[in-house]
Amino acid sequence: MLSRTRRFAALAVAAAASIALLSAQPGRAADTDNVIRFGASLALTGGLASEGTLVKDGYDWMVREINAHGGLTVAGKKYTVEIKYYDDGSDTPTAVRLTKKLLDEDHVNFLLGPYGSGATNATSAVAEQYKIPMVDAHGSANTIYAKGNKYIFGVLNPADQYATPMLQLAKEQKDPPKTIAFVREDTLFANIGIESAAKQAEALGMKVVYNEKYPSGTKDFSTIIAAIKAQKPDMVLAGGYQGDMIVITRQIREGGLGVKMLGFLLGPTVRGYVGTLGALAEGTLEPTQWNANMGWHDQWFNLSSEQFAAAFDKEYHYVPDYHAPQSAAALEVFYNAIRKANSLDPQKVRDTIASSTFESFYGPIKFSEGGINVGKSMACIQIQHVKTTGTNEQQYLPVPVWPAKLRGSAHVIYPLK
């Protein structure tokens, strides 16, 4: 039996340990300085830096918008919003380590997703471990949401839906493509997107004449392009990230591969694609999660899709593709949930996110049991009217070409010249 002195000492140690544990719990910082902190590990350097920078611009825009509207009032207390960033260098293990640091050392209240399916898939396990909700804006692989995790929610349509708009557009053309070739980087996002695309193409009556993957870090695709050219496909669809897609586009267009349609899971609308390729980008296709012409209207901030694009352009001096509004929508999911829960308790906020249904300038938000946004669908854009300004900067229009209701009076460039 412990002596009285030793019992008091033991109780003191236990109390100190409890206090230390409480102070280390994520989500405590807002209680002391009236700031709700979000944490994000982003690819701000490395191979995905172009996309990661666009992601950050969207997050930052929405932070300013929320604070300009008075921040958030929770249980009668007014809070401003901040984001703590770390640069993961486009490296997934680093993203995992930094996400843990955001929770263990920075004590952020909630998590925003990184860029890319690989990093999002890995860091979602951290959110699950800590039971802190993460809203994902830029990881589309279906496997992220197929593990039964309860703390990951994605505002974007998943990877297996990316090719659908392009293939449907192809099928609607007079003398549609009859044969198709696929090539993709051996990554989570691209593999899921292209494997689904191949099945969809066959279901639409198209013959798959080539379907291969290449290792990350490939610099020259001439051997792959030659193998595709030998099959004489009517359409080529490629999956990967922007840098690779620029090289593949150039080598296809300059290599005399006379396809009727050329599509990418992503790339043409990302800044730098048209600027690098110029006229070679004309007519390329990309599915899009969002376009300014989609006509969505936001119930919280009274902004339409078009008004968001104009406001963003005024501040950042470029017309946003889907990356910025996607990031903004992720923060708005938290804005909606925190207001409705009237709490910063992670579990209450998580439960409110799960039952959320609302309209945003990004589109309708409604989550499936697995955390996928089932409220919206995707569209398809085509790069048209590429021209060079006096400063040699490439200008272009990402024209919505599918579905028809978004196309209006615009015409699809088909077949490619």
Least confident of 7-16, 196-205, 256-265, 347-356: 7-16
Topology (CATH level 3) of domain 24-159+299-366: Rossmann fold (3.40.50)
Instruction: Copy the structure tokens of residue 302.
Output: 């009274």
For residues 314, 406, 358, 68, the Cα torsion angle rounded to the nearest 10 degrees is 10
3-state secondary structure at position 378: coil
Q: What is the pLDDT of residue 391?
A: 59
**Count of CB atoms within 10 A of residue 256's CB?**
8
Give the contacts of 11 (CB within 8 A, at least 6 positions apart): none
d(CA 264, CA 321): 15
Give residue-wise pLDDT tens across range 373-395.
999 999 999 999 898 766 556 67
Q: What is the pLDDT of residue 31?
A: 58
DSSP string, 26-71: TT-THHHHSEEEEEEEE--SSTTHHHHHHHHHHHHHHHHHHHHTT-
Q: What is the arithmetic mean of pLDDT over 127-141?
A: 97
Of 124, 103, 104, 102, the C-alpha closest to 113 is 124
Q: Which residues pair with 239 in a beta bridge?
A: 184
CATH of domain 161-292+378-407: 3.40.50.2300
Q: What is the pLDDT of residue 103?
A: 98
Q: What is the pLDDT of residue 319?
A: 87
Chain CA centroid to CA 304, Å = 20
Q: Is 284 in contact with 264 (CB distance < 8 Å)?
A: yes
Q: Is 71 in contact with 93 (CB distance < 8 Å)?
A: no
**Count of CB atoms within 10 A of residue 311's CB?**
16
Q: What is the pLDDT of residue 4?
A: 36
Q: Is the pLDDT of residue 7 over 90?
A: no
What distances in angstroms separate CA 185 from CA 32, 42, 56, 241, 414, one per listed residue? Answer: 46, 21, 24, 8, 26
Q: Which residue has the tokens 């929405």?
A: 62
Least confident of 18-22, 349-353, 371-375, 392-396: 18-22
Q: What is the pLDDT of residue 268?
A: 92
Q: Is 109 in contact with 64 (CB distance < 8 Å)?
A: no
Give residue-wise pLDDT tens across range 279-290.
999 999 999 999
Domain ranges of the chain: 24-159+299-366, 161-292+378-407
Give residue-wise pLDDT tens across range 356-376.
999 999 999 999 999 999 999
Give residue-wise pLDDT tens across range 89-111.
999 999 999 999 999 999 999 99
Give residue-wise pLDDT tens across range 32-61.
689 999 999 999 999 999 999 999 999 999
d(CA 50, CA 222): 24
Instruction: Copy the structure tokens of residue 322.
Output: 């889907």
- Would the CATH topology of 24-159+299-366 be identical to that of 161-292+378-407? yes
Residue type, 338: I
Q: Is the pLDDT of residue 26 over 50?
A: no
Q: What is the pLDDT of residue 22?
A: 34
Q: What is the pLDDT of residue 407?
A: 87
Q: What is the arithmetic mean of pLDDT over 165-187?
A: 97
Q: Is the pLDDT of residue 25 over 50?
A: no
